[in-house]
Structure 1
Amino acid sequence: MKTSLLHLLLSPGGRLRRRTFWTSLGLASVALAGSWWILDITFGSTATWFVHLPFLWIAAVLMIKRLHDRGRSGWWLLLLLIPLLGPLWLALELVFLGGSAGPNRYGANPRGRADYLTVR
C-alpha cells in the first residue's frame, strides 16, 4: 500500500513508526520556522499566527498515528491536559516505546514497509 505525503501529514488514520514520526515532525518544524520567518519579515508578527494552526494539526496527526502504532487511541493525546505527568507519559509512549508487533486494529505494522513514504 502506497501512502502519499498528504495522507501522512493530514489524515490521522493508520500507524507510524518512530523514525518516520521524528523525521516528519522535524521537517514540519523546519517548514513552520521558515514560514514563520518569511511571514514575520513580509507582513509582521501578527501574520505568523496563520502557520500555527496547520502545524498543530500536522503534529497532532503524527502523534495520533504514533499512538496507533502502540495500539492506543488518539484520545490519549488528552494526557497533554494533565500538567507534567501527562506530557511525560505521552513522551514515553511516542518516543521511547516501540510499536506493537504485527497488525493491530489501526493497520499493518509499518516497520519494514519501504513504500510508506512514497510520494504520489
Structure 2
Amino acid sequence: MKNILFSFEGRINRKQFWLGALFMIVQVLIVFALLSMTFDVESESPSTLGLVILFMYSILSFWQSLALYVKRFHDRNKNGWWVLIGLIPFIGAFWLLIECGLLPGTEGDNQFGTIPN
C-alpha cells in the first residue's frame, strides 16, 4: 500500500486504484474518531489538537489521492498532469471517475512502465 499511496512513479490498475480509495476511506473514519475524542464539549468546537490532526490529515490525504490519480493516468498512457482536469467544476469530477475508476488501462507496457499485476 505504501507504493500505491505515496509514489508518483509507475502504474496501477483499477483494482489497485479502488483498494487505495477504500484504504483512504478507512483513514477518514479513523481520523474522525480521533477528532471526536479531542472535541471540546464546553465550547462546542474542535480542540487545538483536533485542528492539528485535521491539518496533518488534509496534507496526507491530498498527497495520497494525487498519487492514486497520477498513477492511474499513467496506466491509461497519459501524463499525470491530466489530474488537473478535476479542477473543472462538475465535469472534472465525473471525468476523473470515469477515466480513472472505470476505464481499463493500456494493454501491455507503455511509456510509464510495465503492466501492473
Q: What is the TM-score normalised by the length of structure 2?
A: 0.82
Shift of 1:71: 0.5
Which residue in 1 is equivalent to 2:13? 17
The range that moved more, 84-93 or 34-43, is 34-43
1:26-63 deviation digits (Å, cap 9, x = unpaired):
11221132023214413634232221110111011011
Q: What is the TM-score normalised by the length of structure 1?
A: 0.80
| Alignment of 1:69 onto 2:75 | yes
Paired with 1:98 and 1:12, the residues of 2 have a C-alpha distance of 19
| Alignment of 1:46 onto 2:43 | no
Which residue in 2 is equivalent to 1:118? none
Whether the 8 Å CA contact 1:32–1:52 is kept in 2: the answer is: no
Write out the 4+ residue segments of structure 1 that deviate beyond 3 Å after TM superposition: none
3-state DSSP of counterpart to 1:53: helix
The match for 2:105 among 99, 103, 118 is 99
Paired positions, count: 107
3-state DSSP of counterpart to 1:41: helix
Unaligned runs of 5+ in 2: 40-46
Q: Could you say what the CA RMSD is over the residues aligned between the two structures, in angstroms?
A: 1.5
Q: Which has the larger radius of gyration?
A: 2
Whether the 8 Å CA contact 1:15–1:109 is kept in 2: the answer is: yes
Unaligned runs of 5+ in 1: 114-120
Paired with 1:71 and 1:29, the residues of 2 have a C-alpha distance of 27
